[in-house]
């Protein structure tokens, strides 16, 4: 089937900053590298300011631009709304889009509160009964090495999981003179390092292990409580956490430890995951994202040890759609892989993963972490024992 006689999927994007640029690139690229049953069409970009949105649309490859996301709800050339805005607007946009019969892709974390996430998950469930699909953008599920790790766990290659160590470390706030942004405002972002990057390692743990978190004990801290205003003299308050540290219990009985920090000097984007099981171990670091380290503990001790797997072979998840073996993928490729999975699922009439219900589960863990930290680290169950 050629691109001219395939059904089209009109996309409306809300937001054109960091995530908007990443998603735009992915929408432009997906059809070139994957055999998509529907052809994505970059129809409309929406921003808060029509002039800025128009400039962004021209730069990023969108056919039209509007200054109000609500305009997307009525447009016949928009079948899916992609939400790349701060968390305080996710619920309003997603619920309205689903009610209007638009498929939805929403960036993570799903919302700023459990109540908002519950409303979104309920709207998604109602919409699914009408064939309207939704997905939350935990894009690291589409990194080939993490997808391979999930497969190895599912195959029993490391046995029963005893311990998970999950870290996400960045340093863009290590300098106390780094200016305020919306990510440091609780009203806009919901939380700091916890929701921004901690949500990723919660979801990655669930994705790779296939298990849930049943409870947590947590600490949060804000090391720099005021930062320079970005557009004038003086300082403003930081109302979110700089770092989060928490312990957890896995549903299979294993232990888990989590660290999320945006003040870890020297660490740029170090999402690290290590799993120790009864038969072996796996280790991953996003700063070396084409590599997965695997230890088979059933081998003879004389030769056993961690070995590096370069995850670029055609047999590896997603890798065969890209370059010859040994030619690594980058951060942007995970978004393209995500878009391809989304379009394929919608065309097949299936719910893409992770669902809004998965996003709600992560939100409940985030809420449990905050509740525990506010109560001197008291052990706090996650609602419904979900991650």
Class of domain 143-331+361-381: alpha beta
Q: How large is the average pLDDT for residues 304-312?
A: 97
Within the chain, all domains assigned CATH 3.40.50.720 are found at 8-139
Burial environment of residue 178 by CB neighbours within 10 A (0 to 12, 13 to 18, 19 or more): middle
The number of angstroms, rounded, from the C-alpha of 62 to the middle of its chain's C-alpha atoms is 23
- Whether 83 contacts 67, CB under 8 Å: no
Would you state the pLDDT for residue 1? 33
End-to-end CA distance of the chain: give it in Å, rounded. Answer: 40
Q: What's the CATH fold of domain 8-139?
A: Rossmann fold (3.40.50)
The predicted-structure confidence for 29-88, as pLDDT tens digits, reads as follows 999 999 999 999 999 999 999 999 999 999 999 999 999 999 999 999 999 999 999 999
The share of the chain scoring above pLDDT 70, in percent, equals 98
Q: Where in the chain is the domain with CATH 3.30.360.10?
A: 143-331+361-381
Handedness of CA 343, 15, 85, 195 (dihedral sign): positive
Segment 274-289, tens digit of pLDDT: 999 999 999 999 999 9
pLDDT in tens, 208-258: 999 999 999 999 999 999 999 998 899 999 999 999 999 999 999 999 999
pLDDT band at 386; cut points 50, 70, 90: very low
Query: Cβ atoms within 10 A of the Cβ of 119, count?
Result: 18
At 315-343, the pLDDT tens digits run: 999 999 999 999 999 999 999 999 999 99
Write the burial class of residue 117 (CB in 10 Å: 0-12 exposed, 13-18 middle, 19+ buried): buried
Tokens found for residue 230: 């970005």
**How far is it, in rounded angstroms, from Cα 236 to Cα 66?**
32
Which tokens is 16 given?
A: 């054109």
DSSP per residue, 171-208: -TT-STTSPP-GGG-HHHHSSSHIIIIIHHHHHHHHHH
For the stretch 99-128, pLDDT in tens is 999 999 999 999 999 999 999 999 999 999
Give the 3-state secondary structure of residue 145: helix
């Amino acid at each position: 089937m050629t691109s001219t006689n395939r059904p089209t999927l009109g996309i409306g994007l809300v937001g054109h900053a960091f995530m908007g640029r990443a998603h735009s690139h992915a929408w432009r690229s997906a059809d070139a590298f994957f055999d998509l049953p529907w052809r994505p069409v970059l129809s409309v970009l929406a921003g808060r300011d029509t002039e800025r949105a128009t400039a962004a649309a021209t730069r990023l490859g969108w056919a039209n631009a509007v200054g109000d996301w609500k305009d997307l709800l009525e447009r016949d050339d928009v079948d899916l709304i992609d939400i790349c805005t701060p968390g305080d607007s996710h619920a309003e946009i997603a619920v309205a889009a689903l009610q209007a019969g638009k498929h939805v892709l929403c960036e993570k974390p799903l919302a700023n509160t459990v109540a908002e996430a519950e409303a979104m998950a309920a709207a998604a469930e109602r919409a699914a009964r009408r064939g309207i699909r939704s997905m939350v953008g935990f894009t690291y599920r589409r990194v080939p090495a993490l997808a391979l790790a999930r497969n190895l766990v599912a195959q029993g290659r490391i046995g029963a999981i005893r311990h998970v160590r999950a870290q996400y470390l960045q340093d863009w706030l290590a300098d106390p003179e780094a200016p305020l942004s919306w990510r440091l405002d609780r009203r806009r972002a919901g939380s700091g390092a916890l929701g921004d990057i901690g949500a990723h390692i919660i979801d990655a743990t669930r994705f790779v292990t296939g298990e849930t978190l049943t409870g947590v004990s947590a600490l949060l801290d804000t090391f720099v409580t005021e930062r320079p205003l970005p557009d004038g003299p003086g300082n403003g308050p930081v109302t979110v956490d700089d770092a989060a540290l928490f312990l957890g219990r896995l549903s299979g009985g294993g232990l888990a430890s989590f660290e999320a920090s945006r003040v870890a000097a020297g660490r740029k984007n170090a999402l690290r995951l290590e799993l120790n099981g009864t038969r072996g171990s796996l280790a991953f670091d996003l700063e070396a994202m084409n590599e997965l380290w695997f230890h088979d503990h059933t081998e003879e001790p004389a030769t056993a040890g961690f070995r590096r797997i370069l995850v670029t072979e055609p047999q590896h998840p997603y890798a065969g759609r890209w370059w010859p073996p040994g030619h690594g993928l980058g951060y942007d490729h995970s978004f393209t892989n995500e878009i391809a999975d989304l379009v394929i699922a919608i065309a097949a009439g299936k719910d893409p993963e992770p669902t809004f219900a998965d996003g709600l589960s992560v939100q409940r863990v985030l809420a449990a972490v905050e509740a525990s930290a506010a109560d001197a680290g008291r052990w706090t169950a996650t609602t419904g024992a979900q991650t």
